[in-house]
Amino acid sequence: MLNQVDIVVGLAWGDEGKGKIVNAICKDYNYVCRWNGGPNAGHTIYLNNKKYKTHIIPCGVFHSKKCIIGPNCVINVDKFYDEIDYLKSEGFDTSLIKVSPKTNIITQRHIIYDKLYLQKKLGTTAQGIAPAYSDKMLRCGKLAKDYIDKKYLWDGELSGKILCEGAQSFWLDINYGNYPYVTSSETLPYSACSLGFSPKKIKNIIGVAKAYDTKSGVDPLFPEVLFDIPEFKLITDYGEEYGSTTGRKRLVNWLRLDHLDYAIKKSGVTNLIINKCDILNQARMYKLIVANITKKFDNLDRFQKYIRKYLLKDKKIKILFSGHKEVL
Binding site for ligand IMP (CB under 6 A): 13-15, 40-42, 122-125, 127, 129-130, 167-168, 172, 181, 183-184, 216-218
CA angle 38, 39, 40 (to 5 degrees): 90
CA distance 88 to 188: 31
**307 interface partner picked from Mg ion, ligand IMP, none, CB below 5 to 8 A per type:** none
CA separation for the pair 43, 167 (Å, rounded):
9
Between 143 and 218, name the residue whose CB sits nearer to ligand IMP: 218
In the complex, residue closest to ligand IMP by CB: 217
Considering the complex, state which of residue 51 and residue 313 has its C-beta at the smaller distance from ligand IMP: 51
Strand order in the sheet with 97-99: 97-99, 66-69, 31-34, 160-165, 2-10, 202-210, 271-275, 318-321
Which helix (H) or strand (E) segment holds residue 177: the answer is none
Q: How far is the CB of 168 from ligand IMP (least distance, A)?
A: 5
> Taking CB within 5 to 8 Å according to partner kind, which of Mg ion, ligand IMP, none is near residue 40?
ligand IMP
| Contacted by 23, from Mg ion, ligand IMP, none: CB < 5 to 8 Å by type | none
Nearest-CB residue for Mg ion: 42
- Minimum distance from residue 240 beta carbon to Mg ion (Å): 12
When CB distances are held under 5 to 8 angstroms depending on the partner's kind, the choice from Mg ion, ligand IMP, none that residue 216 binds is ligand IMP
When the beta carbons of 14 and 196 are compared against Mg ion, the nearer one is 14
Per the CB < 8 A criterion, the answer to whether 158 and 197 are in contact is yes
Bridge partners for 161 per DSSP: 4
Report the nearest approach of Mg ion to the CB of residue 24 (Å): 16
Alpha carbon distance 8, 31 (integer Å): 13
By CB under 5 A, is residue 42 in contact with Mg ion?
A: yes
Residues β-bridged to residue 177:
none
Q: Which among 88, 97, 91, 106 is positioned nearest to 41, based on CA atoms?
A: 106
Q: Which of residues 193-252 bind Mg ion (CB under 5 A)?
A: 244
What is the three-class DSSP state of 251? strand
Give Cα 2 distance to the centre of its chain: 24
Q: What is the rounded distance in angstroms from the CA atom of residue 49 to the CA atom of residue 60?
A: 17
Give least dist CB 223 to ligand IMP, A: 14
Q: Binders of Mg ion: how many residues, by CB under 5 A?
A: 4
**Enzyme catalytic residues:** 15, 43
Measured from the CB of residue 236, what is the shortest distance to ligand IMP in angstroms?
15
Chosen from Mg ion, ligand IMP, none, partner binding at 130 (C-beta under 5 to 8 Å by type): ligand IMP
Which runs of E-coded beta strand occur in the chain? 2-10, 31-34, 43-47, 50-54, 66-69, 74-75, 97-99, 104-105, 160-165, 202-210, 212-215, 251-256, 271-275, 287-290, 293-296, 318-321
Q: Is 39 in the site for Mg ion (CB under 5 A)?
A: no
Q: Which is nearer to ligand IMP, 192 or 311 (CB)?
A: 192
Rounded to the nearest whole angstrom, what is the least distance from the CB of residue 41 to Mg ion in the complex?
6
In terms of CB distance, is 162 or 174 closer to ligand IMP? Answer: 174
CA angle, corner 153, sides to 197 and 158, nearest 5?
25
Count how many residues are written for the chain: 328
Q: Which range touches Mg ion (CB under 5 A), out of 34-42, 61-69, 224-232, 279-287? A: 34-42
Binding partner of 29, given ligand IMP, Mg ion, none, CB within 5-8 angstroms per partner class:
none
* One of 15, 83, 241, 261 touching Mg ion (CB under 5 A): 15
Which residues are at the interface with Mg ion (CB under 5 A)?
A: 14-15, 42, 244
